[in-house]
Amino acid sequence: MYAIVNIAGQQFKVERGNKVYVHRLKANEGADVEFDDVLLIDNEGKITVGSPKVEGAKVAATVVQHLRGDKVLVFKKKRRKTYQKLNGHRQDFTQILVQGILGKGESLKDKLDAKKHEFVIRSKKPVVSAPVAEVEEAPVAVAKKPAAKKAPAKKAAVKKVAKKKED
Could you state, in chain order, the average pLDDT of each consecutive group of 10 residues for the chain (167 residues)?
94 95 95 94 90 92 96 97 97 96 77 57 51 60 70 73 69
d(CA 45, CA 122): 24
pLDDT value of residue 130? 54
pLDDT value of residue 126? 53
pLDDT value of residue 154? 73
pLDDT value of residue 143? 66
d(CA 100, CA 56): 14
Q: Does an H or E element contain 121, and which? A: helix 108-122
d(CA 4, CA 6): 7
pLDDT value of residue 152? 75
Q: Are 19 and 64 in contact (CB under 8 A)?
A: yes
CA 156 and chain centroid, separation? 59
> Across the strands, what pairs with 77?
84
